[in-house]
Structure 1
Amino acid sequence: MLIRYRTFTNNAEVKNNNMAYREITQPLLENSTATSKKIEFNLDASIEHIAHWLPAQGPIKDFIHHNTLHAFQQHPFHKGIAIAAKTFGARSYLPLEDYQAMYQQGRINKAAIEWAIEHSGCTKPMQETLRESLFEADATSHYPPISLANHGIRNAWLTQLEVNLNALVHPVLFRLLGNFLDQGISRWSLPKNGEHFWDCVLRLAKNSLLPLYPLDEPVVHELLSASPDDVINVCLKKIVGNEELYEQYLLEMLLAHPGWAGMVHVIEQNPKSLLARREISLKEMIAVELALELAFLHKKKGTQFSGIAALPYTQGTPLLKDGGFKPIIPLRLRVWHEAMEWSLHSELLKALKPKDTQIISPTQKKLPEAQALFCIDDRECSLRRHLEASNPAIETLGAAGFFGIDFFYQGLNDAYPVAQCPNIITPKHLIKEASRKQQNDKTKSKSGNLTNMHFTAHSIFRGWLFTQTLGIGYAIRMAWNVFRPGSKLPSIRTLSEVETHTHLHLLRESEDLTEDGYLLGFSFPEMADRVGGLLRNIGLTQHFSPLVVIVAHGSSSVNNPHFAAYDCGACSGKPGAPNARAFAWMANHDTVRAILFESGIEIPVNTRFVAALHNTSRDEITYFDKQLLKQHPAPGLPAFQKAMKQALENNAGERCRWFELGPQSQTNKKAHQHVIERSSSIFEPRPEYNHSNNLYAIVGRRALTKNLFMDRRAFLHSYDPQTDTQGDIMARILSAVIPVCGGINLEYLFSRIDNSVYGAGTKLPHNVIGLLGVANGVEGDLRTGLPSQMIEVHQPARLLIVVEQMPAILDKTIAKLGGLKEWLDNEWVRFVACHPENRQLFLYSVNGWETVEFADDSETPQATISEEILLGQTETIPVHQFIRRHA
C-alpha cells in the first residue's frame, strides 16, 4: 500500500554506541533562531495564547470525550505529539519492548513493519539501518523528553533557591478555587451573588477576623487593592524581571496544575457549564497565584530575592522566546507504532475486501420483522451482532445517539436543563419532563433532587449528633454492601437512568421564548425536519418494518465519579433516553408522518416506533411510554423483547472475558448476573470497560459488516451511498463521527500512553472536589483524562474511519467539513473509502487517495458463531468472518 508522509530530513541523529541504546531520531524543522528584537509583553494576548495549551475538560457532570492534545491538531499527528511531549513532559509512545512483545505474539506482522519503514520518508540506506535497530533492546527510549513543564525557567526556584513554590502555593490556591467554585458539596457558598473570584479573595484577605495566610504579608496585602492586571505586572516584574520571559513563566505556572487552570478557562468560556454559576477568569486566578507566590518568596527569602531573569539556567532549557522547542520524533518508536496500527487496521480492511471470485451485487431487500436503531457506540457493536443472531429477521441500524433531536432537557427532578446533543451543537429548544403520578412528585423530589442533599436544619451540635448516630448505621450498611453486594441499585440510579412513568412536553404551544431564550418544544414541521433528516442519513426512507425500536444507551454504577464518561458521548455525556423517546413520539405522530410523506418518506400506518434504553453496565433494557402502546399496540414487540433478552445475556457473557473475577466457563445467565452485581458493588472500580479497545468507525450499509466479528471495537453508522451523490449526507454524518468517535479514541489513546500526564491515574485515591472533578486526596490538582481502570486493557491505536462511498464524492464531502478537515489531513484519524460496488479500498492523505494493497496474502480467520471465537480468549481478538453452516 502506498502512503506519502512528510519527508524526513537526512541528518538523522544516531546516538552514541556507548549508551545503553542506539536510537534514530528525526529533528523537526523549527525556527530556533533567537530573535534580537525586544519582545513587548501584552498580558491579554499572552493569556489568550497560553490558554490554548490547557486541557479542555469540563465539570464531571458533563464528561465529554475530546482529543486530549486538541491544541496540537494543526500539526501532523507525530509532530503534534512530539511538541506536546516537549511541552507537558509526557511519553509519546509505548515502551519499545511492548511493541517487540506484540510482534512476538503475532499482533504486529512483518508486512506491517515493512509498510511502516517504506513510508517513513527515510532513504534506502537509512531504512536498512532503521530495520536493523528495531529489535535491539532499549528500556529508556520512550522516556519523556526535557520539557517546558518540568525543566523550564520556573524550575530554578526549586533547584537554585531551594523554594518549592508549588508545595507552598498550591494547597492555598486549590482550597480557594474549590470553595469558590463548589457546586453543592459545601452547605455554605463562599462567593456572594455575582461576586468575582478576585473580589472574593480580596474580601477574605481584607475583612477576615483571622489573617488569610500568606496574603497577610504587608507588601502583598497592600498590593491586593490594585486591579488584577496591575497585580500581575507588579508580581512578574519582581518574580521574573524580564518581559521576554513573562509569558513563558505564566505558562509554566499554569502547567504545574493544568487541571485547575483548564477548568477555570472552560468555566470562563462557558459559564453555563456550571449549574451554580460562578464569575471567574483565568486572569483573576493568575493574579491570585502570583500574589501567593510573591508572599511566600517574601516570607522565605526576604524582599531582596533574585528574580528568574537573574538566575542562570542550563543549556538546553526550553525557551518560548527562541521560537520553538526543537522537539524530536524517535523514528524507531514511530515506525513501531505505525506498524502496530497498520496491523490492526489491515485486519478489518482485508475482511472488507472481497475475494477475486466474489461478486458484490445488490440483493433484493426483504422486509424484516423488526428494525432496531442503536447509537453508533462501540459497546452496541456486539449487542447488534447478538440480536441479529438471536433472530435473523431483525435488522439493526446505527446513528449518533442523540438521534438527530438536539435540545436542552430538564428532567422531572432536575433544577437546570442540560444539552442532549454533541457539544459542537448549540440547541435552541427546551424539552421538559412531567410526571404521570403527581401524588409521588413531592416524595420523589426529596429523594432525587441534587439540590436537596442536606438536612433542613443545621448546627454544630446537630451535625455531631447525626454523625455519631446515623453515621455508625451507614458505616455498618456500607461494610455489608462491600462484602455482600446486591443486584439492586440504590436511589442514586436517578443520576444515570430515566424513569418510565413520565411523559415529555414535545409539542410547542407558544412562540414565546423562555427566560433563557429557548423555544419550549418543537413545531410539527421542526419535528418532521429532524425525523426525516435522521431517516435520510441512515438510508431508511422505505421498507419500514411493523416495529422500529429506538435504542438509546446509558450506564449505571455506584461510587464512580466518572459515571458521565460511561453514558452517551453524542448526548454530551448523558443517557440518550430523552432523545429516543422524543424521536419515537414524533415519528408516531400522524401530522409528522403527513409532512414526511410530502417530502418522499412514507411510513406505513401499521408501523410503530418504540423507545428503549440499554444499560451498558448491567446489560438490561427498559422500554418507555408503555401507555402509548396501549393506545397503538405493536404486535411484534413481545418477540423482539424475547430476542433482545437472549442477546443481552450473550453480550454479558462476551464482556465477562475481560473481568478478572467474572465467570469464564459458566452460562451466559451466570455472566449476566455477574455484570448486574458488579455495577452495584460499592468497591468495584470497573463496572465496565466502556470504550476500551475502540478502533474502527464504519459508515455504510449493514451488509458491509454483518458477517464480521469485530470484538466490540467498531462504531457503526448506517448510510446508503446510493442516495448521496453530492456527499452532503456523508458530511453531516462525519460532522458527528469525527469529533465524537475521534475524541473518544484519542482520549483513550493518550490516557493509555501516559496515564500519569494525560490520564487521571488510578481511581482509588480520588476524591470528588466541589462536584467539579476528582483529585488525589483533598489538596491535589484536578485530574484530567481517564483513570487507569478505564484504559488498562486498551490498545492505543488511532481510529480507522471506513466509509462506503467513492473517493470522487468524498472529495466533495471533505471540502464541506470545515475545521474538521484537519483531523483527516493531519492524520489524527485514518480515513479509508470503500467503493460501494466493488469494495476497492482507498486511503486518504493530504496528498490525495492511495489504493490500499497488501503485501501478504494471509486470510481472514473464519468461524460460524461468536462463542466459537470467544472460547478461552482474554485478549483482543482479530477480525473474523462468519460463514454459514451447510445443511
Structure 2
Amino acid sequence: MTARNNSFDEQAVLHELKQFLPALSPGKTFTYRNPLEGFQEQTFDDALRHASEMLGYRTTLSLEEYRSLYNSKRVKPGVLEKVLVEKKGAANTFEWQDKVLMKKFPAAAESPSKIGKLRANWQKQYKTDLDARVHPRLFRILGNYLDHGVSDWKFPVRGKGFLDSMREVESNSFVSAFNTPRARNLLLQASSSINDLLTVIVGDEMLFKQYLFDQQFAHRGWSGLVATLEIGREISPNGSNITLRELIVFELLLEIDVLDDRLGRHWEPLSYRLPAPPEDLFAPVPVGEKSEVLAIWQEAVEWSYYEAILAELRQDPQNTRNQTGTRVTETTFANAVDSLCIIGQPSLLRSVTAEHRAFRHGYDFSLDPNGEMLEEILEAVVPSLGVANLECFFARTGLAGMDDILTDQMIGLLGLADTARGDLQAPLPAGLTKDFEPMRLLCVVEQFPETVLEVIDRLAVQSTCVGRRSVGRRSIALWLLNEWVHLVVIDPVSRELRVLKNRKMITYKSAPRIVIEDAVH
C-alpha cells in the first residue's frame, strides 16, 4: 500500500479522542461527562452496540444475567411481552420471545471489537509487540511526571510542560529514555508533529486516525487521565501539566525507538506491508440479533422497576393519600441507584414512597405556561443526574474493560487505595455496584406534553455554560431525544402519562399481568 493524501486533521482527531476516552481525574474529581460522550449523537441502544463492537466496552449485562433476573421474577413477564410488542410488533412477539428466553448464541470471539486490529500488524509483520516494549517505560515516566507523592523517583524538572521537561532531562542527563539516536534527536529538535511521526511509522494518511485510536485505547486509562487533566486545565500540585498531544508525540517517539532498536533501519511504515485495507474502525455497526435481544432485556429490566412508580404517580395526588387499597407499593428492585427524578408540585413529590431513592424538584406548571422555568430546570438536572446515573449503570456492566498495567503511580494519582487494584474499570469500585441493577434515569415531569416538547425543541438549538466547561444545550436535548434518559410527562389535568419514544410523545400503557412459572435457560 502506498501513502495517499487524506488531509489528516490533527486537532480534529485529538478532539474526537478526548470524547471517546474514559474520564479519569486525580482524587476522583467529578468530571461531568457522559462516559460514552463520543456516541451521544446516537440513540442509547445504537450507542451501546457501537461502543461494544468498536471499542470493546461492556455496555450491558450478559444474556445469562438478564435471564437470571427473569427467573428470579425481577423482570416481569408482562413487561417483557410489552417491550417485545413495542419493538417487534404483535405478529412477531412469539418468535422473538423464543429468541429472548431460549436461544443460544455463539460465544463471543476472543477479540470481538475492532479496536487494536490495525496495530496488531506490527506483531504479524515484524514479530514486534510494541505495547510490551513501550508501555513499561511510558507508564513509569508518566507516573513520575504526574506524581502526587507516591513515586520513589522524583521527576527532576518541574513547572514545565511534559515534552519540554523531557527535553531538559534528555539534554542534561547521562541516562536517556531512548535506546537509539533517531527518536532522541527528534525529541530534542522539537519540530516533529504528530503527522510527521505517523508518516514514519504508518505511512498512509488514511490510516493515521485509526492508528491513534488503536494506540491510545491500548492504555485507555492513562490516556483518559491525561485527556481529563487537559480538558480541566488542571496543574498537579508539583507544577506539572500535560496534554494528550504531548502524550501521543512521546509515545510515537518511543515506538520509533523500539523499531529502530530491534530492526535497525530495516523496517518500513506499517501500511506498506498490509495485504489489504484494515476493517474501518468507524464504519457503522450493523444490528445483530443478539444485540437486539440484549436491548429488549435492558428495556424489560428498566420498565419492570418503573411500572410500580408510574402507577403511584398517575393517580390524582390530591386524593391518593386518603384512599385505601389503591396505593401501589410493589417494587421490583431494591437497588435502583440514582434512577429516578420527579419534577412537579409538592403533592406529586410526596406520592413517591420513601423506599424509592428519588431526586425531587418542586415545580408548578400553572406558573410556567411557556415552559421557561422547566427549561432551566432540565438544563441543570438532566446532564448532572444523567451522568451520575450512567456512572452507576456502566460501573455495574463493567464498561471500561481496561487492560492497563495498573502501576502504583496511577493508583496514587487516582486517589485509590491498593485494595482498589482491578477496580479502575469504572469510576465507581465494582464492589459497591455489584448489587445494582443497571437502568437509565427516569425523569418524570408534571406539565402538558406539548409544552415539554416545545422546551426540548428550544434546548436543541441553544447553548450555555455549565461550570468551567461549555456545554451545548443541544446535548441536553439529546439526553432526552436519544433516550439516554427516559422521560415521562404527566398531564396535570387528565393525569394521563406520555412517554418520549422515538422522539414522539406516546401514551403510556401499563403492562398486562402475566404469570409464567417455567424458568428460562
Does the alignment reach a TM-score above 0.5? Answer: yes
- Cα distance in 2 for partners of 1:767, 1:178 equals 5
Aligned to 1:235: 197
2:430 to 788, 791, 798: 788
Is structure 2 residue 450 aligned with structure 1 residue 808? yes
Distance 1:274 1:154, change over 3 A: same
Is structure 2 residue 202 aligned with structure 1 residue 248? no
Aligned to 2:160: 195
Aligned to 1:342: 303
Is structure 2 residue 485 aligned with structure 1 residue 843? no
- Cα distance in 2 for partners of 1:285, 1:346 equals 48
- Cα distance in 2 for partners of 1:743, 1:801 equals 13
Post-superposition offset of 1:728: 2.1
TM-score (norm 1): 0.50
TM-score (norm 2): 0.82
Distance 1:276 1:816, change over 3 A: farther
Letter in 2 for 1:292: L
Aligned to 1:132: 98
- Cα distance in 1 for partners of 2:114, 2:437 equals 28
- Cα distance in 2 for partners of 1:269, 1:243 equals 27
Aligned to 1:161: 126
Distance 1:45 1:137, change over 3 A: closer
Is structure 2 residue 208 aligned with structure 1 residue 226? no
Q: Quick check: 1:86–1:145 contact (8 Å CA) kept in 2?
A: no
Is structure 2 residue 68 aligned with structure 1 residue 101? yes
1:561-600 matches, within 5 Å, as none
Distance 1:176 1:780, change over 3 A: farther
Aligned to 1:212: 176
Q: Quick check: 1:117–1:127 contact (8 Å CA) kept in 2?
A: yes
Q: Quick check: 1:745–1:798 contact (8 Å CA) kept in 2?
A: yes
The higher-RCO structure (CA 8 Å, 6+ apart) is 2
Post-superposition offset of 1:126: 4.8
- Cα distance in 2 for partners of 1:715, 1:142 equals 39
- Cα distance in 2 for partners of 1:143, 1:742 equals 32
Distance 1:834 1:48, change over 3 A: same
1:342-381 matches, within 5 Å, as 342-354=303-315, 360=318
Distance 1:753 1:216, change over 3 A: same
Distance 1:63 1:52, change over 3 A: closer
Work out which of the two has the higher radius of gyration on C-alpha atoms and give 1 or 2: 1
Post-superposition offset of 1:247: 1.5
Letter in 1 for 2:215: M
- Cα distance in 1 for partners of 2:485, 2:279 equals 30
Distance 1:221 1:325, change over 3 A: same
Q: Quick check: 2:221–2:404 contact (8 Å CA) kept in 1?
A: no
- In the TM superposition, what whole-angstrom CA distance separates every residue of 1:225-246 from its partner, at most 9, and x where no partner exists? 222534x344322321222111
Is structure 2 residue 55 aligned with structure 1 residue 88? yes
Post-superposition offset of 1:102: 1.5
Is structure 2 residue 465 aligned with structure 1 residue 821? no
Letter in 1 for 2:271: A
Distance 1:53 1:359, change over 3 A: closer
- Cα distance in 1 for partners of 2:36, 2:24 equals 11
Distance 1:272 1:742, change over 3 A: same
Letter in 2 for 1:788: A
1:36-435 matches, within 5 Å, as 38-64=5-31, 66-120=33-87, 122=88, 126-138=92-104, 146-150=112-116, 152-185=117-150, 190=155, 192-209=157-174, 211-213=175-177, 215-227=178-190, 229-230=192-193, 232-272=194-234, 274-312=236-274, 317-320=278-281, 324-329=283-288, 330-354=291-315, 360=318
- In structure 2, the residue corresponding to 1:236 is in which secondary structure? helix
Letter in 2 for 1:346: E
Post-superposition offset of 1:248: 1.0
Distance 1:127 1:781, change over 3 A: closer
1:830 to 486, 494, 499: 486
- In the TM superposition, what whole-angstrom CA distance separates every residue of 1:443-492 from its partner, at most 9, and x where no partner exists? xxxxxxxxxxxxxxxxxxxxxxxxxxxxxxxxxxxxxxxxxxxxxxxxxx
Q: Quick check: 1:220–1:291 contact (8 Å CA) kept in 2?
A: yes
Post-superposition offset of 1:846: 4.7
2:395 to 730, 733, 751: 751
Post-superposition offset of 1:134: 1.7
- In the TM superposition, what whole-angstrom CA distance separates every residue of 1:274-326 from its partner, at most 9, and x where no partner exists? 455433222211111011111112222222124321333688x5324xx6153
Post-superposition offset of 1:176: 1.6
Q: Quick check: 2:229–2:242 contact (8 Å CA) kept in 1?
A: yes
- Cα distance in 2 for partners of 1:48, 1:775 equals 32
- Cα distance in 2 for partners of 1:62, 1:846 equals 34
- In structure 2, the residue corresponding to 1:229 is in which secondary structure? coil
Post-superposition offset of 1:185: 4.0
- Cα distance in 1 for partners of 2:417, 2:369 equals 51
Is structure 2 residue 495 aligned with structure 1 residue 853? no
Distance 1:795 1:61, change over 3 A: closer
Distance 1:767 1:256, change over 3 A: same
Q: Quick check: 1:760–1:785 contact (8 Å CA) kept in 2?
A: no
Higher helix share: 2
- In structure 1, the residue corresponding to 2:189 is in which secondary structure? coil
Distance 1:857 1:104, change over 3 A: closer
- Cα distance in 1 for partners of 2:438, 2:142 equals 34
Letter in 1 for 2:293: R
- In the TM superposition, what whole-angstrom CA distance separates every residue of 1:644-677 from its partner, at most 9, and x where no partner exists? xxxxxxxxxxxxxx9xxxxxxxxxxxxxxxxxxx
Letter in 1 for 2:504: G
Give the aligned CA root-mean-square deviation in angstroms: 3.7
Q: Quick check: 1:773–1:783 contact (8 Å CA) kept in 2?
A: no
Higher strand share: 1
Distance 1:775 1:228, change over 3 A: farther
- In structure 2, the residue corresponding to 1:148 is in which secondary structure? coil
- Cα distance in 1 for partners of 2:95, 2:160 equals 64
Is structure 2 residue 353 aligned with structure 1 residue 697? no
Which one is further off, 769-778 or 168-177? 769-778
- In the TM superposition, what whole-angstrom CA distance separates every residue of 1:610-642 from its partner, at most 9, and x where no partner exists? xxxxxxxxxxxxxxxxxxxxxxxxxxxxxxxxx
Distance 1:337 1:39, change over 3 A: same
Letter in 1 for 2:307: S
- Pairs aligned (count): 488
Post-superposition offset of 1:802: 0.7
Aligned to 1:726: 370
- In the TM superposition, what whole-angstrom CA distance separates every residue of 1:335-383 from its partner, at most 9, and x where no partner exists? 12212222112121122222xxx684699xxxxxxxxxxxxxxxxxxxx
- In structure 1, the residue corresponding to 2:451 is in which secondary structure? helix
